[in-house]
Amino acid sequence: MNHALILPILLPFLAGISLLFLKTSSMLTRRLSLMATVALVPLAVLLLILAGDGGYRVYLLGHWPAPFGIVLMLDRLSALLLLLTALVATPALWYAVATDGDRQGRYFHPLFQFQLMGLNGAFLTGDLFNLFVFFEILLMASYSLLLHGGGRERVRAGLHYVILNLTGSALFLIAIGTLYGLTGALNLAELAVRIAAAPESDAGLLRAAAVLLLVVFGLKAAVLPLYFWLPAAYAHTSAPVAALFALLTKVGVYAMIRVFTLAFGLEMNAWLLPLGLATLIAGGMGVLASRELRRLIAYSVIVSVGTLLTGIGLDTVAGLSAILVYLAHTTLITAGMFLLADLIVDQRGHTENWPAPPVAQLRLLSGLFFMGAIALAGLPPLSGFLGKTLLLQAASSTPALPWVWLIVLGSSLLVIVALSRMGSRLFWNMQDVATTAVPVSVRRWWPAAALLAAGPLLMILGQPLTDFATATARQLLSPSGYMAAVLATRDLTVLGASL
């Protein structure tokens, strides 16, 4: 077994435990947290290279065979999301340290590491129950990170967030119990085999369990009508936490792709296309109605979720490939925009106070906002345009063509209008007046710039990114390889024990 597979979980776990025994404000705490987070980047690159050959890497904890033991699985999709997690977490943590945001409350760094542990575990696990466990780890960490620094609005948003996610966790357990009672298995590969062989009398309960899972994953992903917790939570938490939270909705989307393509086939995808289009409409209207920059970006996360579900719902390799390209784009750009919004607020003030005259802005911030807005809206020549173009091309061969084109392009228009209006109000009268604009140090602006640089960089790497996404989509829609890789370990382990 390749022990590198468990390191994305083990490294933040050990770092988080160690950080609990250090003082929150000590320099050693910051250095250890940054070192552990930065180390995830080359590790994720290594795992991406390993998964690039199209094979599956199986890691058996305790050397217990599937489906009895805990299994970690690495393929192209999980490797891609591990890399995105590391690329978002590193600038977000650096920004928190540069702005002293990590000192607004206790245990920021341990919670940050446990959040990374939960995210990486969710992307690697091959077991439905352990997916629930890692969900709970990342959610418990996110509860505290959301409230980090205190404040009335954060407490109010956090209360809604906690209640809804606890409800989702209860539904998740009910679905897990139902599936285990019917099939006697929770390993995803074994579950797929047993669901396919289940008697017709169990079809109704299996379908009910699948619907419960759809509700749970839809809540995590912020799908209509389960997205109402997201705008307030993302708008009122601290900027580095909001940037890291850009990954939370992707966990729900990842779980839909993994579980439904593997254990339930493509039966549930018929629900995803209308849900995705409806979420796109709701997110676009929310973006247009937003009067504050952070809330606008939060609603753009909902737009991205709707776009991702639309691509999954097309049930084609082209559709799934398009949303994987879009997934890489929207995760990095949204995280960068949350960090940039915090810098802009320091210069402009709270953007809901429109009667106040515009204050001077640094040209750097206006340039970054312009680049981020183009990418977020899906305009050429940046990466959002590539993802949406591939999605529209994928819809051209389906009966949903007119609806997908109308709603995807319509929501993009709403985002363009909202961002243009916001940019005009923030930067129209920009002047370099030193008495009214506080210079932004390099330590503060480079994390946002690094994330927003994904816009042109992903476009430059468009061909290899598209090729990788297409190969990943084909791998996901042919789950027999995944099942064979996991279930083969049972026979090999038994053979090894007998020898």
* Domain parsing of the chain, residue ranges: 3-490
In the block, which residue shows the tokens 């086939």?
Answer: 265
Annotate 460-493 with b (16+ C-beta within 10 A) or e (fewer): eebeebbebbbbbbebbeebeebbebbbebbeeb
pLDDT digits (tens, 9 = 90+) for 470-486: 999 999 988 888 888 88
CA distance 27 to 123: 31
Residue 284, phi then psi, degrees to nearest 5: -65, -40
For the chain, the average pLDDT equals 86
**Is the Cβ–Cβ distance between 490 and 67 less than 8 Å?**
yes
Share of the chain above pLDDT 90, in %: 49
Whether the full predicted model's pTM is greater than 0.85, yes or no, is yes
| Banded pLDDT at 99 (limits 50, 70, 90) | confident
pLDDT digits (tens, 9 = 90+) for 394-442: 988 888 788 999 999 999 999 999 999 988 887 775 544 443 445 556 6
Mean pLDDT for 162-190 is 90
- Does residue 47 have a pLDDT over 70? yes
Most confident stretch, 75-89, 364-378, 427-441: 75-89
Mean pLDDT for 95-112 is 86
- Does residue 169 have a pLDDT over 70? yes
| Banded pLDDT at 499 (limits 50, 70, 90) | very low
Q: What is the pLDDT of residue 360?
A: 41
**Is the Cβ–Cβ distance between 60 and 33 less than 8 Å?**
no
Of 333-342, 357-366, 410-419, 422-431, give the lowest mean pLDDT range: 357-366
